[in-house]
Structure 1
Amino acid sequence: MATLLQNPVQATSVWTELQHAAQQLSEKEPVLRTLLHQVIQTPETLQEGLSVLLARKLGTLDVPFDVLKPEFQAVLSDAQVLEGVLADLLAIRQRDPAVKDLLTPFLFFKGFHALQAHRIAHTFWNAGRQAVALFVQSQVSLQFAIDIHPAAQLGKGILMDHGTGIVIGETAVVEDNVSMLHNVTLGGTGKECCDRHPKIRSGVLIGAGATILGNIEIGRDAKIAAGSVVVKPVHAHTTVAGVPAKVVARNVKFTPALQMDHEFDIHI
Structure 2
Amino acid sequence: MKIFVISLKRSVERRAWITEQLNKHQVEFEFLDAIDGHVEPPHELFQNYNYLKRLWLTSGRMPSKGELGCYASHYLLWEKSVALNEPILVIEDDVKIKTNFSDMLPIIEEKVSQYGFLRLQAETHKGELHLKEQSGDTSISFMTNNFGGTLCYAVAPNAAKKLISQSREWCMPVDNYMGSIYLHNMPCYILKPSVVENPDAFLTMIQLGEEKGALLYRKPTRELYSVYRKIMMKKYNKKYI
Q: Which has the higher strand share?
A: 2
User: Which of the pair has more CA radius of gyration?
Assistant: 1
Normalised by the size of structure 1, how large is the TM-score?
Answer: 0.30
Q: Which has the higher contact order (CA 8 A, sep 6+)?
A: 2
